[in-house]
A = this chain, B = another copy of it.
Amino acid sequence: MATARKPRTNKRDRILNAAERLFAKRGFHGVSVREIARAARVDVALVNYHVGKKAVLYEAVLLRRAEVLNDERVQMLEDCIASAAPEPPSVEAIIDAFTHPLLNRSTREGQGWKDYFALVAQVNNSPEMGGQLMSRYFDPVVRQFLDALRLALPGCDERDLFWSYHFLSGALTLTFAETRRIDNLSDGLCQASDLAAVHERLVPFAAAGFHRLCDSPDP
């Protein structure tokens, strides 16, 4: 008797998917609820029924994959700590645990994740609500990574550590925004869509930056 529940909400997912794609492209204010409903092939009123008003929809899109991503990041961090024990893991390994989940999802799974990361890139650089939303959804896990980095960089000044993470965050989000500016700048030699090529460079680039800032002695 129990199980035979409705597919709960096929349409709720369709709405979230369409919203994700459109918000990623044009931002919160650049997309109308009606357009999202049209793209999801769903009546306008259903958006309010299944999700809520526009602002709620926006946060629902952000939250949906944030949980998955956070779990995977924590898992990878614990793995890399465990496999380096009893030594602390290297800075490279920690950064890789932080960035690799993005690469994995973006290349192995569908366009949805790509859209999601592009959306996050916009949010991260938005003065309007960027600070609040990013802090709410990602910073709890970021703090765990900072804890690990402290062990890998003993004696590191706290401010150097925070700013180093800030630079990594900026480089990472611009990468996953995939604006194709670099395609143009490099005359096609580099491609924003070739995330594997970026990732194998981002990790050593950022690690070198962390070491440069955090290893130096303070007088």
Contacts and interface: CB of A to CB of B under 8 A. Distances in A.
Interface of A: 24-30, 118, 121-122, 124-128, 130-131, 134-135, 139, 142-143, 158-160, 162-175, 177-186, 189-190, 197-198, 201-202, 204-213
A214 B158 CA distance: 28
A130 B179 contact: yes
Given A135-B184, A208-B208, A30 B167 contact: no
A197 B159 contact: yes
Contacts of A30: 27-29, 128
A158 B186 contact: yes
Contacts of A131: 179-181, 183-184
A contact face: mostly helix, strand, loop, or mixed: helix
Contact of A127 (B24, B166, B189): B24
Q: Which of A121, A164, A185, A198 has the most CB of B within 10 A?
A: A185
Contacts of A173: 125, 170, 174
Contacts of A205: 163-164, 167, 209-210, 212-213
A204 B212 contact: yes
Contacts of A209: 204-206, 208-209
Contact of A166 (B122, B143, B171, B207): B171
B127 A25 contact: yes
17 contacts: A25-B127, A27-B128, A122-B127, A125-B173, A125-B174, A127-B179, A130-B179, A158-B186, A159-B186, A159-B197, A162-B190, A164-B205, A167-B171, A167-B174, A170-B172, A208-B209, A208-B211
